[in-house]
Chain A
Amino acid sequence: MSKQHNWKIGWVALLVLSLFALSACGMVQPAKKPEVGPAGKPVEAKPNPPVMERFRPAPTQLYDLEAIAGSLFEGINKGNWPQAESGIANLQTTWEQTKQIVGEKKGVKDADEAIAGLTASVMGKKAVSAYEDLTKFMSSVSDVGKSYKLSPIADIITVGNAIRNVSFYVQDRNWNKAASKAKDLENTWNQAKPSVEQVGVLGSTTTTHSYVKQLKDSVDAESQGAAEEHIANLNESMGLIREYYRGK
């Protein structure tokens, strides 16, 4: 075998390996899911988006939805219904824009159902129902965000939801529920923290980590003032993280 031929084989092998690595094994379609499981239907299955689409940055509207959700939740939580109504209007507008951009992705259908319920709850000024619908809506938006493989938007929304859960029960002074939600926030944050770590926002991730731990301690101690202070700090640090990634 000639020397030149050997070099050619080597380069071809390198090319194949590079293509395989770049595709991140994503050429393989997921196995077909069963129609029903022991307790009913499994989660909705959607085919993988096209390979290149998975590596695009998440649309800025997803970050905007998270920001609006914060404002809307504040209105619901504090009984400030004009703020909540303004928030739901913003949320609907932004969601319509988002749908057009993201197309048919996993989570879109559920989000549509949730936002309809949320609108009704806010218009009916039902705080508990509105809080639950908002959580459901943002969970579905998080599912949409998971399609953007290189973006941490799904984790940012999940952590946001977990913070809202704690805040809701702290406001309600339901300490058992709040403690359970604080534990849930800690676990969620532990899973999400590596995804949001990036040079340029490392300070905010470190402070968020501290605030999550402190919030859990203050909820365990049933200290509403301290818990609210830590939630406010978390609002700031998570807001900074969200703004850092917006458009990236």
Chain B
Amino acid sequence: MDKLEKFAADIDKNVDYFKKLLGVGESFDIIFREFKIGRRRAATFSINGMTNDILLTNIYADIMTYHPEELNINTLNKVFYHRLAHSQVKVVDNINDTLTSLLSGELVMFIDEETQAIVIDARSYPIRSPAESTIEKVTRGSHDSFVETIPFNTTLIRRRLRDPNLRCEIVKVGARSKTDVAVCYIRDITNPDLVDTVKDRLNSIEIDGVPMAEKAIEEFIVGGSTWNPLPRVRYTERPDVAVVHLLEGHVCLVVDTSPNVIILPTTFWHHVQHVEEFRQNMTAGTFLRLTRLGAILTALLLPPVWLSLVLQRHLLPETLAFLGPRDPGIIPLGLQFLLAEFGVEMVRMATVHVPSAQSTALGFIGAFMLGEFATKVGLFGNETVFYIAVATVGTFATPSFELAMAVRLLRIALLILVIFFKLPGLLVGLLGAFIILVATKSFGVPYFWPLFPFNFKAMKDVLFRLPLPNKILRPAVLKPQDPDRLEHGPQKPPETDDEKDQ
């Protein structure tokens, strides 16, 4: 039987096909059940652990009580319309859709002499409740965050956005995994070309599965060089952040099995903002934002700039002569920085991997290993440890983990250039980094906008946390259909093609 074919009227053919395909008897978790509805034979397939047992028991109990004389003709429709009280039930007429539903956790029911199947959504996933995000914490504000279950995540978005124009279109990715990806956008705000581009790229993914969920999806759809270290989409675990971006005209991708929602397109500046800034008043928010920007710049520039200046200290004015190391340590300074970077990364990785009970102890060992002992035995200079520590703190102050990693890689590249070519190497490296920033695009949006190409109004919004009542314009670079955030009368459904013709 071809996968695209319709069902046979003979229930045995349908059941045999599904039994062989799913390996009933071989796989312990495929549940097959036969029973009778009136005089008709019926069978169900489901997956153990993915269905709600209590719900199914109620459904079975309900349809098995049919009197035979009630079911002489049109059995499937009678069951569907009169007995299945559950809200999410559908009738499917082809094998392909039925299989996808079954493997998604839905119950599939065959009835003899019927060429359709009933699909009952009685799913019960292994789930966790929305808890506070560990990587996007705030002092004030909501403490819920996305989880691994796609309907929960779309619910968290809809709770904050009761807009009839909010669309969450499902695209299935992966020939085998059939992973659900919800393309969320606001129909009358988001640029339709952007939505089409995203959906086209999702539909053109050819792979068997995407177990790494959002990260794998990103690599397929983002375009451009995959070796570019700059993150061209933003991840968030916070529903309020996702909604803010939807209202600006972005597209959000909610990938099943992942608590990280993809926001696209993004610019560099999206990765340096944090929700905390909007939970404080304007002045405090601006202070936080500028501090954060300073921290990121420090993380990128402090070690290579200091190294380049002390390697050619005669370039320094006399007032900055104090910068030089008092005791540089026996290892060449450039190598000290590379070794320190290596050490910090080792400690960070180890801290992530070990159980939390041991991570504090590991942090202490790492700090003493790198700082105290390395300088005491004369291998490292005190300044090296200090500057790398400041840069590391700056890295951790970066809200986006992806950007923090990119900054770290750029910093190492700059350090290597300085080791080989000193100050000229640093200047060339910075120019190279600038060119990468300017040349990078995220779904057609210049990555360094609004600094490059320059847009004064938008740049002001990037550098300062402006008052929310003044933020009435959506980012122009997204080409939103509705350029401002003011109310424009009652909302209407989209026009059909016929209505447009009239």
Residues of A within 8 A of B (CB): 1, 3, 6-7, 9-10, 13-14, 18, 21-22, 24, 146, 148-151, 154, 190-191, 193-195, 197-199, 202, 205-206, 209-210, 213
Contact check, A210 vs B330: say whether CB atoms are below 8 A apart. yes
User: Do the beta carbons of A149 and B431 come within 8 Å of each other?
Assistant: no
A22 to B427, CA, bound (A): 8
A198 to B430, CA, bound (A): 20
A-B contacts, 8 of them at CB < 8 A, read A6-B455, A10-B451, A13-B454, A22-B427, A191-B313, A194-B324, A195-B313, A199-B420
The residue that B311 contacts in the complex, of A14, A18, A197, A206, with Cβ under 8 A, is A197
Chain B positions within 8 Å of A, measured between CB atoms, are 310-315, 324-328, 330-335, 378, 419-420, 422-423, 427, 430-431, 434, 438, 451-456
Provide the bound-state CA to CA distance between A199 and B456, in Å.
Answer: 44
* CB <8 Å contact, A194 and B452: no
Nearest residue in B to A7 (C-beta to C-beta)? B453
A9 touching B312 by the CB < 8 A rule?
A: no
| Pairwise interchain contact A206-B330, C-beta atoms closer than 8 A | yes
Q: Which 7 A-B pairs have the closest CB atoms?
A: A6-B453, A10-B452, A194-B310, A9-B454, A7-B453, A197-B332, A193-B328
A150 / chain B contacts, CB cutoff of 8 Å: 312, 314-315, 422-423
Q: Tell me the complex Cα distance, A13–B279, Å.
A: 34
Taking the closest CB of chain B, its distance from the CB of A40, in whole angstroms, is: 19
Nearest CB of chain A from residue B461's CB, rounded to whole Å: 15
* B332 A202 Cβ-Cβ under 8 A: yes
A197: chain B residues within 8 A (beta carbon)? 311, 332-334
- B423 contacts which chain A residues (CB < 8 A)? 24, 150
Name A154's contact: one of B314, B335, B452, B455 (CB within 8 Å).
B314
* Residues of chain A lying within 8 A (CB to CB) of residue B378: 213
The reply to whether A206 and B455 contact each other, CB–CB distance below 8 Å, is: no
Q: A7-B453, A9-B454, A22-B427 known; A194 and B333 CB under 8 Å?
A: yes
Residues of B within 8 A of A210 (CB): 330
List residues of chain B with CB within 8 A of the CB of A7. Answer: 452-454
Residues from chain A with Cβ under 8 Å of B334 in the complex = 197
- Contacts A190-B328, A213-B378 known; list 20 others, CB within 8 Å: A1-B455, A6-B454, A9-B453, A10-B438, A10-B452, A18-B431, A22-B427, A149-B315, A150-B422, A154-B314, A190-B325, A191-B324, A194-B325, A195-B311, A197-B332, A199-B419, A199-B420, A206-B330, A209-B330, A210-B330
Chain B residues with CB under 8 A of A190: 325-328
Give bound CA distance, A194 to B314, whole Å. 11
**For residue B333, which residues in chain A have a CB less than 8 angstroms away from its CB?**
193-194, 197
Given known A-B contacts A10-B451, A194-B328, A146 and B314 have beta carbons under 8 A apart: yes
Majority secondary structure of chain B interface residues (helix, strand, loop or mixed): helix
Q: How many angstroms from the CA of A10 to the CA of B422 in the assembled complex?
A: 27
- Asked if A10 and B453 make an inter-chain contact with CB atoms under 8 angstroms apart, the answer reads yes
Residues on the A chain within 8 Å of B427, using CB: 21-22
Q: How far is the CA of A10 from the CA of B314 in the complex (A)?
A: 32
Determine the distance from Cα of A190 to Cα of B430 in the docked complex, in whole angstroms.
29
Most chain B CB atoms below 10 A, which of A13, A148, A199:
A199
In the complex, chain B residues whose CB is within 8 Å of the CB of A202? 332, 335
List of A residues within 8 angstroms of B332 by Cβ: 197, 202, 205-206
Cα–Cα, bound, A181→B452 (Å): 56
Is B453 in contact with A3, judged by CB distance below 8 angstroms? yes
Q: Are A24 and B454 in contact (CB under 8 A)?
A: no
* Max chain B C-beta neighbours (<10 A), residue from A197, A199, A206, A210: A197
A206 touches which of B314, B331, B420, B430 (Cβ 8 Å): B331
What is the CA–CA distance of A205 and B331 in the complex, to the nearest angstrom?
9
Q: Cα distance A7–B452 when bound, in Å?
A: 7
**Chain B residue, CB-CB nearest to A153:** B314
Shortest Cβ gap from B76 to chain A (Å): 59
Distance, CA A226 to CA B312, complexed state (A): 33
CB neighbours (8 Å) of B314 from chain A are 146, 148-151, 154, 195
Complex contacts, B422 vs chain A, CB 8 Å:
150, 198
Please give, as numbers and ranges, the residues of chain A lying within 8 Å of B430 by CB-CB distance. 21
Q: In the complex, what residues of A have CB within 8 A of residue B419's CB?
A: 199
B335 to chain A, nearest CB (A): 8
**A186 closest partner in B (C-beta):** B327
* Residues of chain B contacted by A10 (CB below 8 angstroms): 438, 451-454
CB closest chain-A residue, reference B334: A197
Question: What is the CB-to-nearest-CB distance from A17 to chain B, in angstroms, rounded to a whole number?
Answer: 9
Question: Which residue on B lies nearest to A195, using beta carbons?
Answer: B313
Q: Is the CB of A149 within 8 A of B312?
A: yes
Chain B residue at smallest Cβ distance from A151 = B314
Given contacts A190-B327, A190-B328, A206-B332, contact A24 B310 (CB under 8 A): no
B426 CB → nearest A CB, Å: 9
Nearest-neighbor residue (CB-CB) of B416 within chain A: A199
For B328, give the chain A residue with the smallest CB separation.
Answer: A193
**In the complex, residue of chain B having the shortest beta-carbon distance to the beta carbon of A210:** B330
**A3 CB contacts on chain B under 8 angstroms:** 453
In this complex, what residue of A is CB-closest to B477? A3
| A7, B454: Cα distance in complex, Å | 6
Give Cα A2 to B342, complex, Å: 46
Please tell me which one of the listed residues B313, B454, B455 contacts residue A194 in the complex, with CB atoms under 8 A apart: B313
Residues on the A chain within 8 Å of B310, using CB? 194-195
Q: Which residues of A contact B327 (CB under 8 A)?
A: 190
Tell me the bound Cα distance from A210 to B328 in angstroms: 12
Least Cβ–Cβ distance between A19 and chain B, in angstroms: 11
A-side contacts of B324, CB under 8 Å: 191, 194
Q: How far is the CA of A193 from the CA of B330 in the complex (A)?
A: 9
* Smallest beta-carbon distance B445→chain A, Å: 12
Q: Which A residues are in CB contact (< 8 Å) with B326?
A: 190
Please, how many angstroms separate the alpha-carbon atoms of A95 and B452 in the complex? 53
Report A-chain residues with C-beta under 8 Å of the C-beta of B335. 202
Kindly report which residue of chain B lies nearest to residue A191, judged by CB atoms.
B324
- Least Cβ distance of A216 to chain B in Å? 13
How far is the CB of A37 from the nearest CB of chain B, in Å? 15
B332 nearest CB across to chain A (Å): 5
Q: Which residues of A contact B328 (CB under 8 A)?
A: 190, 193-194, 209
A199 to B333, CA, bound (A): 11
